Chains A and B, each alone.
Chain A
Amino acid sequence: MTGDDRLTVAAVEQTTVDVRSYVLTSHRPLRPYEPGSHLVVGLDGVRTCYSLTDDGTAPDAYRISVRRTGRGGLSDALHDTVRVGGQLSVSGPRSAFPPVPHARHHLFVAAGIGITPILSHLGAARRWGRSCSVVYGYRSGAAAHLELVRRLAGADLVEAPGRTALASAVAEAVERQPVGTHLYACGPRAVLDLVTDRCAAAGWPPERVHVEHFTAPDLDAGAPFEVLVRSSGRRLPVPAGVSLLEVLERDGVAVDHLCRTGVCGRCRIGVLAGTPEHRDLVLPAALRDAADRMYPCVSRAGTAELELDL
């Protein structure tokens, strides 16, 4: 599926007090997807990424789980307006949090609604017989998909009710892993920081730690800079508080994009000269210094000018 597609809401399930799961179907065959993939859902011009919860091998439906935030926004709008039989505009699935097939062991860490991509990974690990274990942190009584996680993970699950329990479960899991383990974590930023800090302290190579943010951080406005568009030779100023993607669009330069929050990786462009300041959540740790590419929806320039391969 490329571009937007209309999917039918075949079922809505109240998974916990504030989480609803949506089963989306189509009259056309649904494309398989990598574990950890997300669907981009659009409603009234707003687009948000939601993790798909199945393993993706032969999907009969696309399933997402959405937590009501109470702050408005698309998630709350889905809860308020989407009913069985309705339609949703989606694009994807897109993969930005895939498993590493050659890992010797897979350690999954989920906090709260961050269980959604981890559930997908867990299902795939079971399907392919990959060695894995799960740490699931949740608030008591509000753990989405807990029964399914228990059934799939069995004895390989550590449940951590509350942030303190999660911190110690993560600390213990990180220190006990065999060489060659890859870790995958999804949850609020504080939990992801905790995981990456713990891994760093335990001497994990950053290439083996994979994190999926489900909320993009608020970014500062940044300093103004200039870009040179190679194909047209045009020089465009990028003011503070305005994204490079917006500047390019206003000048008529088409850049494929989806999330506008540095999460999905769709808007990647090539950089020919200058040094980008990466503010996205896509580039893996080993590539944070890469000067040949950037995600213009959030990233800016570390030099006064960038030359873009556009």
Chain B
Amino acid sequence: MTTAPRTPDTAPSYATPLAELAWPFEPGADTYRYWINVERGRRPVATAAGSWGRHVLEVDGGYPAVMAERTAILDREPRRCSALPHALPAAWEALEFGLAEIAPQRPDLFRLQRGDDGVLRWRNDLLGTRWSARTGDPLVDGAHPLAALAGQVQEDLFLLGPREDRLYVDAVAATFTGSWSSSFSLGMSFADLHSPVPRIRDSGMVDRTERFLLSLDPGDVYRRTNWSIYDSGRLDASLEASHRRDPGHAVRSATEHRYGSLRLRVELQHLVRLPATGALLFLIKTQLAAFADIVTVPQWAGQLRSVLAELPEDMAAYKGFARYRPGLLDWFDL
């Protein structure tokens, strides 16, 4: 136990509109296991409450709140964005790809122009951003090009570069990672990055996934979802911010039977093989929904309870709810 003074956790609570939640469970399935659940991107999926998946980077109803939180974190901790020197071309390709992806979604807010002089101009009226730059400039509006993109989109951004048939983390710009440190992972191999995840390390799945990624064609876009359970609606669940949090909170939440305030944390992940550099742009959009809200959708309530009841103990621990599973299942049955 520590008695060191703790910075109060003032991070705002965030809730993804249910109509935009990327519900991570297969229709009709009442169990969940890891598998390479990837599919092609840019295809909308209907859920019991709405739909998701039309775009690769998506400006959703939470954009203003998410961007406010992101801007505050990046101002406070610029190390959340870091890049190896050789990643500049890939970062620029990611920036141009990302801005071109979001610009048409909100023409009332965004304006992207490529002048005849080759200068790229970007304007975001919501955030008050306005800059111009030339492809290849080392800094865009004072930031690395990947950080410049992170400042305009809701997604966490990772660039994976192939080297001798392996992938390495060449650049990161992330503020909302779940229980891991993106800045610590800069330069890591794909295999090392995934070694803490139970069941997948020795199953050959990491190796197969890496080979799949390396075999993607230029311009390919794939996506998958992942999920876990957290005790709060804080977007920034990273290790970088762990010193701001109260480690007893989760246990207390559970022992106080506040199961309705638990959050399903969904990661909507996209993978883009950037055609001009061959780098892989990995995007994570973090979504949060309180259990109390989820159970208002009857199909979701039943499916989530079945999945949580069936999940093996080690996976339940990794997903964050093994300690209080019996009480949680009782809560569903109330």
Show 24 A/B contacts (Cβ-Cβ < 8 Å), sorted by A. A1-B219, A31-B218, A31-B275, A32-B275, A32-B276, A34-B218, A34-B275, A34-B276, A34-B277, A57-B276, A93-B218, A94-B218, A95-B218, A98-B278, A100-B163, A101-B86, A101-B90, A102-B163, A128-B88, A128-B136, A207-B164, A286-B164, A287-B165, A293-B211
Distance between Cα atoms of A293 and B208 in the complex (Å): 12
Distance between Cα atoms of A286 and B84 in the complex (Å): 24
What is the interface of chain A mostly: helix, strand, loop, or mixed? Answer: loop
B124 within 8 A of A: no
A43-75 contact mask (Cβ, 8 Å, vs B): 1 or 0: 000000000000011100000000000000000
Distance between Cα atoms of A31 and B217 in the complex (Å): 12
A198 within 8 A of B: no
Size bracket, chain A contacts: 20 to 34
A2 with B86: CB separation less than 8 A: no
Distance between Cα atoms of A31 and B277 in the complex (Å): 12
Within 8 A of A (CB), among B70-92: 84, 86-90
Give the one of A31, A57, A101 with max B CB within 10 A: A101
B215 within 8 A of A: yes
Chain B residues within 8 Å of A, Cβ to Cβ? 84, 86-90, 93, 135-136, 161, 163-165, 211, 215, 217-219, 275-278
Within 8 A of B (CB), among A162-196: none
Distance between Cα atoms of A286 and B164 in the complex (Å): 8
Distance between Cα atoms of A234 and B136 in the complex (Å): 53
Within 8 A of B (CB), among A79-125: 93-95, 98, 100-102
Least CB distance from A86 to B in Å reads: 26
A268 within 8 A of B: yes
B164 with A102: CB separation less than 8 A: no
Least CB distance from A110 to B in Å reads: 21
A237 within 8 A of B: no
Q: Select B278's contact among A34, A58, A129, A293, beta carbons within 8 Å.
A: A34
A95 with B163: CB separation less than 8 A: no
B217 with A2: CB separation less than 8 A: yes
Q: Given contact pairs A93-B275, A128-B88, enumerate 4 new A-B contacts (beta carbons under 8 Å).
A: A1-B219, A31-B218, A57-B135, A57-B276
A284 with B165: CB separation less than 8 A: yes
Closest 3 CB pairs of A and B: A32-B276, A101-B86, A102-B86
Least CB distance from B333 to A in Å reads: 43
B276 with A33: CB separation less than 8 A: yes
A28 within 8 A of B: no
A contact residues around B93 at 8 Å (CB): 32
A56 with B164: CB separation less than 8 A: no
A contact residues around B86 at 8 Å (CB): 101-102
A127 within 8 A of B: yes
Which residue of chain B has the shortest Cβ distance to A32 in the bound complex?
B276
